[in-house]
Amino acid sequence: MPIVRGEIEGYTEVWNCHHIRKQKKRPNAVVGQPKFLYNWPPAGVTQYGRAVDQGLAQEILTECKDWSKKSVP
């Protein structure tokens, strides 16, 4: 599992650093690097995020805590 997690993290880092370029046929497309657009959105962008339900998050963590310790048959 650590190998898979490492590969996913590596891919995510590469993806978030690439540059989205301007396109003639898509004048309203958002341009820039995904990691900067996510963390520091341009002025006028509406934030649709919601707070995490801490009770549900704790329940999911409790159910999944032993996943990495189980062996595949």
Per-residue pLDDT of the chain (73 residues; tens, 9 = 90+): 789 999 999 999 999 999 999 999 998 888 999 999 888 888 888 888 899 999 999 999 999 888 776 555 5
Eight-class DSSP state of 65: T
Domain positions in the chain are 1-42
Instruction: Give the global pTM.
Output: 0.52
DSSP 20-48: BPPBTTBTT---B-HHHHHHSPPTTPPP-
